[in-house]
Amino acid sequence: MKQAIPHETIKRLALYLRSLRQLSRKRVEIISSEKLTEHIHASPAQVRKDLACFGEFGTPGVGYSVKKLIAEIESILGLKEKQEVALVGIGKLGSALLAYLGFEKFGFRISALFDNNPEKIGKKISELKIEDVARIKEVLRRRKIKIAIITVPAANAQEVADRLVAAGIKVILNFAPHYLNIPKGVIINTIDMAIELQSLAYYLTHKEQSRASSTTTNLT
Amino acid sequence: MKQAIPHETIKRLALYLRSLRQLSRKRVEIISSEKLTEHIHASPAQVRKDLACFGEFGTPGVGYSVKKLIAEIESILGLKEKQEVALVGIGKLGSALLAYLGFEKFGFRISALFDNNPEKIGKKISELKIEDVARIKEVLRRRKIKIAIITVPAANAQEVADRLVAAGIKVILNFAPHYLNIPKGVIINTIDMAIELQSLAYYLTHKEQSRASSTTTNLT
DNA sequence: TGATGTGAATAACTTCACAGCG
DNA sequence: CGCTGTGAAGTTATTCACATCA
């Protein structure tokens, strides 16, 4: 019951959580695995299997308590307390992510900014001062930040990743379209928007349908 | 040899392509499946299997011609000619994507912009006029655009998706953190950055390592 | 010799189907 | 009676290992 959870399962848990929160806002108190999957690409059996990895949260013949299940999943994912996040690369994409409230809403706060452009270093965006990437180690060590988002150009991504690793970062969400070499023990997930678009282009000329899945990840 | 290619394979082809282009720039002419995987999370056998879905491109005892393989993969993915792309939602994220040269570099051109904000409609960004979302059907039909990117708030995403489908769009890259109901025959890939971050948070408290994989997709 | 292409074997994930319990 | 939890079956994807060919 406790070993080698596939990342797909973890990602689905986050999706279930989002649906559950919507249900909670609509005052729904009990939900069955079947109903829960109405707005998710997953089967009821999948939901039950995913949850079974972590315990027994439902009541046979009834379903799951929405409120309780939210609490359980938040606990599993470690979203009970706000997570501080560092953002490296304050260009257009970085700024867009900084303004994105979706993170804040779900337990994350971007609370350290870095860039290598002297024109940007020292400037403030929404109360946060942009620091020199050279100070990543110092700042993150002091503030014990464990999560970082990389939004720098591909050419600088490996250097930044090295700095983040040296600073004790444990989890990286990388938007740079580049392979990153990372030591074991650090988890990295690369979202490469150009790759996503290119792979979708395939389906314009090939009609054989693919079954449903969900946004992947370069974990290490 | 020709049926039901998994999306994972398609995505890896795009990754191979990126590596191959780098190699080409470095004047490398021949590459083995083993060398090719040095900067990709995949095994040599995986590379050969992926390619075998589409033909025999290598020379036993030698390897693959970089130039030829680039041409083959571009042909498979349908990247030989520039693809026009519509962008719906010209907020921070949409603007960031518009400015992102990664798309342009790999065969895509964002060439139609839409928003529902009267203050934005009619404005121009880099030569492109922002149109009213109500005109999606008209504009996309006329220009025969088949790919769209959604960067609107979650609350508007389904409505936008419906309009895109009605306009004959075949492929959607969706950044709105919301489930989208789409008819069969239209392919959708949702990139939900909040979900990605939440699922990564799991690994801060759970050290059991996950094996390498690559960024997923809500295909339909 | 050396790397491809590929059937066979393995591993991973998903669905099925039903026992069991509220 | 209804829905969960779960072993078993089924399906899909990955790795292995080797015959084959330049």
pLDDT digits 0-9 by tens, A73-85 = 999 999 999 999 9
Of the three residues A77, A104, A136, the one that is the final residue of a domain is A77
Nearest to A215 among B77, B191, B209 (CB): B191
B108 shares contact with chain A (CB less than 8 Å): yes
Q: Is A110 helix (H, G, I), strand (E, B) or coil?
A: strand
Whether B12 and B101 share a structural domain = no
Inside any domain, residue B129? yes
Residue type, A108: F
**Average pLDDT value for residue range A149-160:** 98
Mean pLDDT of chain B: 93
pLDDT digits 0-9 by tens, B142-182 = 999 999 999 999 999 999 999 999 999 999 999 999 999 99
User: For chain B, percent helix, then strand, then coil, each to nearest 5?
Assistant: 45, 20, 40
Protein residue minimizing CA–C1' distance to D20: B60
Whether B90 and B169 share a structural domain = yes
Whether A45 and A128 share a structural domain = no
B54 shares contact with chain A (CB less than 8 Å): no
A96 shares contact with chain B (CB less than 8 Å): yes
User: How close is the nearest chain B Cα to the Cα of A146, in Å?
Assistant: 8
Q: What is residue A114's predicted lDDT score, i.e. its pLDDT?
A: 98
Q: What is residue B136's predicted lDDT score, i.e. its pLDDT?
A: 98
We report the CATH number of the domain holding residue B24 as 1.10.10.10
Inside any domain, residue B208? no
Whether B89 and B188 share a structural domain = yes
Is B210 a residue whose pLDDT tops 60?
A: no
Inter-chain contact A215–B196, Cβ cutoff 8 Å?
yes
Q: What range does the domain containing B43 cover? A: 7-77
Whether B174 and B87 share a structural domain = yes
Separation of alpha carbons B193 and A48, rounded Å? 25
Q: Are A88 and A136 in contact (CB under 8 A)?
A: yes
Q: What is residue B1's predicted lDDT score, i.e. its pLDDT?
A: 35
Q: Are B20 and B77 in contact (CB under 8 A)?
A: no
Range with the poorest average pLDDT among B3-12, B30-39, B69-78: B3-12
* Percent of all residues in chain B with a pLDDT value above 90, rounded to a whole number: 87
Inter-chain contact A96–B96, Cβ cutoff 8 Å?
yes
Whether B37 and B116 share a structural domain = no
Chain A nearest-CA residue for B107: A198
Tell me the CA–C1' distance in angstroms for A64 and D6. 17
Q: Which residues of B touch A126 (CB under 8 A)?
A: none
A44: nearest nucleotide, CA–C1' criterion = C15
Mean pLDDT of chain A: 92
Q: Using a 7 A cutoff on CB, list residues near strand C.
A: A 4, 6-9, 42-43, 45-46, 48-49, 59-62; B 32-34, 44-45, 48-49, 51-52, 56-64, 211
Of the three residues A77, A96, A114, the one that is the final residue of a domain is A77
Interface of B with A in 118-157 (CB under 8 A): 146-147, 149
When divided into structural domains, chain A yields a total of 2
Inside any domain, residue B117? yes
Q: For residue B13, give both structure tokens.
A: 């082809």
Q: What is residue A102's predicted lDDT score, i.e. its pLDDT?
A: 82
Whether A98 and A135 share a structural domain = yes
Is A209 a residue whose pLDDT tops 70?
A: no
**Average pLDDT value for residue range A149-170:** 98
Inside any domain, residue A202? no
Q: What is residue B110's predicted lDDT score, i.e. its pLDDT?
A: 96
DSSP secondary structure letter of residue B90 = -
Whether B44 and B70 share a structural domain = yes
Tell me the CA–C1' distance in angstroms for B70 and D20. 25
Whether B105 and B51 share a structural domain = no
Of the three residues A22, A47, A77, the one that is the final residue of a domain is A77
Inside any domain, residue B218? no
Q: For residue B88, give both structure tokens.
A: 């719906």
Inside any domain, residue B34? yes
Is B214 a residue whose pLDDT tops 50?
A: no
Residue B132 host element (H or E): strand B128-132
Inside any domain, residue B167? yes
Nearest to B203 among A187, A200, A213 (CB): A187
Does nucleic acid strand D have an atom less than 7 angstroms from the CB of B5?
A: no
Whether B61 and B116 share a structural domain = no
Inside any domain, residue B185? yes
Q: How many CB atoms lie within 10 A of CB A178?
A: 20
Q: What is residue B2's predicted lDDT score, i.e. its pLDDT?
A: 44
Q: How many CB atoms lie within 10 A of CB B111?
A: 15
pLDDT band, residue A1 (cuts 50/70/90) = very low
Q: What is residue A3's predicted lDDT score, i.e. its pLDDT?
A: 61
Is B188 a residue whose pLDDT tops 70?
A: yes
Q: Are A110 and A91 in contact (CB under 8 A)?
A: no
Whether A87 and A111 share a structural domain = yes
Separation of alpha carbons A80 and A77, rounded Å? 8
pLDDT digits 0-9 by tens, A99-133 = 998 888 888 999 999 999 999 999 999 899 999 99
Range with the poorest average pLDDT among A39-53, B105-119, B198-212: B198-212
Q: What is residue A105's predicted lDDT score, i.e. its pLDDT?
A: 86
B44: nearest nucleotide, CA–C1' criterion = D15
Is B81 a residue whose pLDDT tops 80?
A: yes
Q: What is residue B206's predicted lDDT score, i.e. its pLDDT?
A: 87
pLDDT band, residue B16 (cuts 50/70/90) = very high
Q: For residue A23, give both structure tokens.
A: 């249900």
Whether B88 and B71 share a structural domain = no
